[in-house]
Homo-oligomer: A and B are copies of this chain.
């Protein structure tokens, strides 16, 4: 048993999957949960993912040893402020947001300074499907979880959160928060912006009704992340706007260069760019397989 009493605030894909994973690992004795949306609370109850679904955040966190804030990233600090007065003194709180500098900044502002018991985390898992109905016990298995310890970090709190994620099957990595945000702007946040933008552009073309039925497997995979939660991704892009904006500028610049190659019939350069990209992706696949 790693945690006696766990509280999950935010009963979506991530919160639900963590509850399932810890329960199936026998790592937790009791799980309470809260979500501001009554229909999500009903889902959690019906699916038996949470032992006790509560009507207020305070009721959910009372007696909890560990509180996991699994809400869209811009709501993290609000969720923290809502439940903090009801928490035990020795509580450990962690989050699952996809951006880390913004969360640490928000928490520092709300608490005066960064509290030792707050551990910032980001599980690199999830699908384009949202909601506790899609939660699964093995969502984190063999995935990375990034923790970004801060200057006032209590090492015991950090160790607890590490063990919890390991019990869920994840591989825990520590990283500086700003470095985290730059890396995930590149591998995750920018691709979401590109995918949303591409699908929206297509949908607004004349004759788009005829376009979509002719889309094949390439389109399907390329656009998969455009089915992700707009609320969640709005929060992420907004919370990491500096890093995402810088990369978006670079991406626009690169596309303008491709446009110039096409205009000026510099086809060998275009082919060389395609070849460089394929090689880079093959190196990536070799690293992860």
Contacts and interface: CB of A to CB of B under 8 A. Distances in A.
Interface of A: 124-128, 143-144, 146, 179, 182-184, 186-188, 190-203, 205, 207-208, 210-228, 230-231, 233-234, 237-238, 241, 244-245, 247-252, 254-256, 258-259, 262-263, 267, 270-271, 273-278, 280-285, 287-288
Contact of A215 (B187, B205, B249): B187
A211 B183 contact: yes
A201 B144 contact: no
Given A124-B214, A245-B263, A263-B245, A187 B252 contact: no
Given A126-B216, A187-B219, A245-B259, 11 more contacts: A187-B212, A188-B216, A191-B223, A194-B198, A196-B278, A197-B277, A212-B284, A212-B287, A215-B284, A228-B278, A234-B274
Contact of A234 (B203, B234, B267): B267
Nearest to A268: B234
